Structure 1
Amino acid sequence: MFTFFDDNGEICNEKIYNRTIAISLDTLKEKEKSILVAGGEHKVKAIKGALKGKIANVLITDQYTAKRLLE
């Protein structure tokens, strides 16, 4: 996915979004399974945004990132 979204899982920049070739965030939200694979300290904020915005409903990550997400 190449879509910039904020802490709430909403599109950050509509102008860039309209010029991007990617599955839409609305389409991802409608899917039965939308899988996010991410990990690392620098990804925690983005993962939280994706989960909060319901962009993904399955998360595959490492134990350290999972612990940070639960804090």
Structure 2
Amino acid sequence: MRDQDAKQMMQRCVEEIKTLRRINAELAPKAEAYESLRQVLNLLPQPSKGYGEDLVWKLERAIKDIAE
């Protein structure tokens, strides 16, 4: 795979991930409201939240490395 092809593919991945993050941000309040209602109605404890690695940051860094 040529560097230019890899760069373009990674850039498309970055844009897709950013779009999905925007959609998630829009849906998060609705999901939180649902979970709050469920928690009140079922009296269930709220599970802890975990965080994964930032794939967009890694892809953008790889794009920058290829461009140099």
TM category, shorter: under 0.3
More strand by share: 1
Q: Which structure would you say has the larger RCO, counting Cα contacts within 8 Å and 6 or more residues apart? A: 2
TM-score by length of 2: 0.23
TM-score by length of 1: 0.22
